[in-house]
Amino acid sequence: MLSKRVSILLATTATAATMMLGALAIQAHAALRHIDGTVVSKNSDNRTFRLTTQGGSQVRVKVASSTVFQRISGFGGLHKGLRVEVEGKTTSNGLVATHVETPGGGGGNGGGGGADDGPNHT
């Protein structure tokens, strides 16, 4: 009887651990975002910029030292009116860019809007 209880306890513990890992993986994936928009302002002191998305929302984006820029000469190359694609991670401090580029970097469709954009594409 004791070994049956131990087996049930181990099975329950393994199931709970698997469910927790799955929930963590979903949260980590959900925290990533892809945003297409146009730069409307830039704050060099805070290394942030705001952009207006295709849907009309404004988003504040923080640039970290690890942010990768493509076809833009770094944070200094950002300016009002520039169309950009941002890959970012949602944090407690807002969106932190992991990758910023101008549209047209692959796929040949001129910048986003394709079927590969995923569920968190704005």
- Over the stretch 59-93, which tens digit does the pLDDT of each residue have? 999 999 999 999 999 999 999 999 999 999 999 88
Domain ranges of the chain: 1-30, 33-107
51: its two tokens: 């952009």
Model-level pTM? 0.63
Domain 33-107 belongs in CATH node 2.40.50.320: yes
Q: How far apart are CA 86 and CA 108, in angstroms?
A: 18
- Over the stretch 6-56, which tens digit does the pLDDT of each residue have? 567 556 665 655 556 555 544 455 478 999 999 999 999 999 999 999 999
